[in-house]
Structure 1
Amino acid sequence: MPSKKKPVTSRPPKSSTAKDSPYVSYDQLIQCVDALKKWTQLGDNERKSGDKKPLFADIEDSVVRLQINHKKTLLNKSTYIYGISLPNHWRHELSADYETCLIVKDLQKTPLSDRDLDLTETKNHYREVLSKAGADQLVTEVLPMRELRNEYKLYEAKERLSKAYHVFLCESQLLRNKFDYLPTFLGKSFWITNRKVPLPVDTASPSLKQDLESRLNQTQLYLSGNGDSSAVTIGICQE
């Protein structure tokens, strides 16, 4: 006796809602950004909410950070740095106030008897390289290695240096890996406290200006095994 087949009923496809996905949707992200933009355009009286302290009251240009929670914690406490390109970097908002420092090799392997002349020749050489590439405006200060070694030996001096500029760049030959002399010399102030490890660039590249702009348009994500979350700067709220 032939078996009776059950009629096949077509079920409507399950609609994907925001609750079904563990990720923030693009529309929700746009709503958050729009709300933040509206807040920055409000006047002082409109921002006050009773006796509550105004948001970002203590900071003139508040930094916006994205917090990332890790599914797995790194096995060791080494620091890993990842560059993330931003389509609209906040350095364009600061314009002239955004200061950069380029750490370079010494022009003369053997230092000249005149220390000031030695440093001036190195700085002028790299300023000329930047000028020919049309990238002179992208670098605020050129810092030779000999000046770095002599003037910033103490921890306090390195701490002041790390806070003096928004971002540091260096010749790619000086930072091939974290065990080279430069990253070892910079130490805790650049790696942990202020997280401003120099970004390597090739000053001999024919596309030096594009390479510098690409580096400056990045934000750095520092990952280590010290916790299950990290934060990366993605912008500022400039009033």
Structure 2
Amino acid sequence: MILVGAVVVLLCWLLGFWLLWHIPAPGEFRRRAGRAPAALAVPESIPLSVSVVIPARNEERNLPCLLQSLAEQTRKPDEVIVVDDHSEDATAAVAARLGARVVRAPDLPSGWMGKPWACWVGANAATGSLLVFLDADTTLSPEGLENLVAEYRVQGGMLSVQPYHVTLRAYEQVAAGLNITLMMGMNVFTPLGDRLAPSGAFGPCVVCSRADYFATGGHKAVRSAILEDSFLGRVFA
């Protein structure tokens, strides 16, 4: 039994190394893609106006941190839209007080889940050529938006980022296991990552052009999905 257990543990470790062979650090994407930094998918000659879209339901506590971080960006967003998804608290008032444009989501249509609907409403209200969807419980470092725009210029398509999870309580560290499981199923961190189409995306931070968003159907294409981020990644793949 000891031998069997040791074999199982070894196989689990090998599987983990295979599925998480390489988790890229910031700046590694262009090296993996074999591009020189100057070979941009979206050249600097093409101006990008940035619309940040934040779907929010009962987020009066979280919004101040996010909106304050957006106000402190080295690259300011051209507009910040908070989609109030029928909140029962002061979400709309907090967003307006902190300078965001508040858009109230109409009643949920049949066949739609709440977050895809709020994102779709926000995207339709946005005027920027680049859409940045952020969950209300995220925050950006001062260079965060600048880095996202720069990385989008390198890659094009859809860019998604899994934020660093700040844990305040010991039991919250359990969520790290869920994040790792999600990463294992995305096909992009294995030795075959460059040959496989991604099978998902990270929902808390999604970046894409307005043109690509509506060409693919955006959140409308995944309107009934509970894990809309995973399905959205497949839409863009």
Fold equivalence (TM over 0.5): no
Q: Which structure features the higher share of strand residues?
A: 1
- Which is higher, the Rg of structure 1 or of structure 2? 1
Q: Which structure features the higher share of helix residues?
A: 2
Between 1 and 2, higher relative CO (CA 8 Å, sep ≥ 6) is seen in 1
TM-score (norm. length: structure 1): 0.28
